[in-house]
Amino acid sequence: MGQRRRHCRLLIYSHDSFGLGHLRRCRAIAQALVSHRRDLTVLILSGSPIIGSFSFSSRVDFVRIPGVIKLRHGDYTALSLDMGIEEILAMRAEIIRHTAEAFAPSIFLVDKEPLGLRGEVRDTLTMLKARGALLVLGLRDVMDEPMQLAEEWQRKNAASALNDLYDSIWVYGLPQICNALEGIRLPASTLAKVRYTGYLRRTLSKHARTAVGPASSRPYLLVTTGGGGDGAALIDWVLRAYEHDPTIPHRALLVLGPFMRSTLQQGFMDRVARLPRVEAITFEAEMESLMAAADGIVAMGGYNTFCEILSFDKPAVIVPREAPRLEQFIRAQRAQALGLVHMLSATENRSAQRMATALHELPLQPRPSQIQIPGLLDGLSVIAGLVDEWLDQPARRLSLISGRP
């Protein structure tokens, strides 16, 4: 009888309490890896309420766990279900563990939260470690201001998880731009697990749609808020600029974001209707298509948007949020210092004229490619190599062929 077919499986956990960042990052990694390896299957565990709006490659699927949302004072509550937070977190933890037991991954990749939301993946990590799976923590390039991050990780007992449970820590960036672990006191044994991969290059999907509607009216500036839950200030500022200065030469396409409050969306749509050079949509799952066709980008500067700006080589104005985390501000500040983007602080002069001037000058800014930084966009290829290194070990190949965990 012939040899059994190898089964390589990657399970990705993304807690997704708010926004699109975690989901889009995990999806990009999953899509790239199944394209790289035909023997790989990827399953994403996500709490995002709109994960079903995205398309996925063959051999990539998802399990949606019940959603939660973070409140202003830092606590969490159920997104839709009429359940207490402790009850829903216990249910999420059970779904995660049972899925991991059934899927039996060779690699478990946890996005951002070392123990998951409120520790919900701790038992799954322990179980998979005993089964011999590779446990990986994936971190974006900037987590937060160092002192705040140190306090948060101490409160969550994250350092012990990194040392005792994880085999590897992948940082999706470069230390010369942003050091994700800056200010965190970690033992040498933990630091030895860290691998900076470079940023995650984005490309147009093979199934990307031809630009239609607003995106077909080139040239245009793309204004994006990511998920949109905290993007109202940026949209308002851009609209005030167009209302103030009708001579801005480029059209604008605003993507408000699916998590922006409907009342705010409607107010912005009413203002857009009065501006002949501005159009708006609520959501686009294939943002890469809009990004590739734009002549310039105005954004808050979350991780995924920054990767897209670099990947499609677009001049960009970044207006980062500065609360509740300084992540976007730190990234934008350091990227501006390197000449990759131009930053406008939303806490300084927010006059319509200041934004109008920035929009006039945006298409004339240098493109990121004019700054040579080795390995800047190597993230996905480096991750593919790390996955190959683990899955193609002789002992690992034997276990995959025999079907043992």
User: Residue 296: which of 230, 248, 237, 354 has the closest Cα?
Assistant: 248
Please state, as a whole number, how many other Cβ atoms lie within 10 Å of the Cβ of residue 253: 24
- Judgement on whether residues 49 and 113 belong to the same structural domain of the protein: yes
Greater confidence (7 vs 207) lies with: 7
- Judgement on whether residues 99 and 69 belong to the same structural domain of the protein: yes
Answer positive or negative: Cα dihedral of 125, 126, 131, 136: positive
Helix 303-311 with 21-36: angle, nearest 10 deg = 50
For the beta sheet containing 40-46, the strands, ordered from the edge strand earlier in sequence to the opposite edge, are: 60-64, 40-46, 8-14, 107-111, 134-140, 168-172, 194-196
* pLDDT band for position 397 (cuts 50, 70, 90): low
pLDDT of residue 185: 86
Determine the Cα–Cα distance for residues 244 and 53; give it in Å rounded to an integer: 36
Q: Is residue 366 part of a domain?
A: yes
Single-letter residue type at 126:
T
Full DSSP string of 319-373: ----SS--HHHHHHHHHHHHTS-EE--TTS---HHHHHHHHHHGGGSPPGGGS--
User: Residue 28: which of 380, 390, 386 has the closest Cα?
Assistant: 380
Buried b (16+ CB within 10 A) or exposed e, 212-249: eebbeeeebbbbbbbbbbbbbebbbbbbbbbeeeeebe
pLDDT of residue 224: 96
Helix 394-402 with 379-391: angle, nearest 10 deg = 70
How many domains are there within the chain?
2
Contact 144, 116 (CB under 8 A): no
β-strand 68-70 against 76-78: which pairing, if any?
antiparallel
Mean pLDDT calculated for residue range 298-305 = 95
Contact 174, 198 (CB under 8 A): yes
Write out the residue range of the structural domain in which residue 342 sits: 213-370
Q: Is residue 2 part of a domain?
A: no
pLDDT of residue 113: 92
Greater confidence (228 vs 73) lies with: 228
Q: Is residue 1 part of a domain?
A: no
- Judgement on whether residues 330 and 197 belong to the same structural domain of the protein: no
- Judgement on whether residues 107 and 226 belong to the same structural domain of the protein: no
- Does the structure show a pLDDT above 60 at 142? yes
Single-letter residue type at 137:
L
Determine the Cα–Cα distance for residues 374 and 256; give it in Å rounded to an integer: 34
- Does the structure show a pLDDT above 90 at 366? yes
Can you give the CATH number for the domain in which 254 is found? 3.40.50.2000
Mean pLDDT calculated for residue range 375-391 = 97
Determine the Cα–Cα distance for residues 374 and 383; give it in Å rounded to an integer: 16
- Does the structure show a pLDDT above 80 at 344? yes
Q: Is residue 324 part of a domain?
A: yes
Q: Is residue 51 part of a domain?
A: yes
Q: Is residue 207 part of a domain?
A: no
- Does the structure show a pLDDT above 90 at 59? yes
* 3-17, 237-251, 284-298, range with the lowest pLDDT: 3-17
- Judgement on whether residues 196 and 217 belong to the same structural domain of the protein: no
Determine the Cα–Cα distance for residues 358 and 326; give it in Å rounded to an integer: 23
pLDDT of residue 393: 83
pLDDT digits (tens, 9 = 90+) for 18-50: 678 889 999 999 999 999 999 999 999 998 888
Give, rounded to a whole angstrom, the gap between the first and last alpha carbons of the chain.
22
Q: Return the SS3 of 115.
A: coil
Report the phi/psi class of residue 200: left, alpha or beta, with left for phi > 0 and alpha for psi in -120 to 50. beta
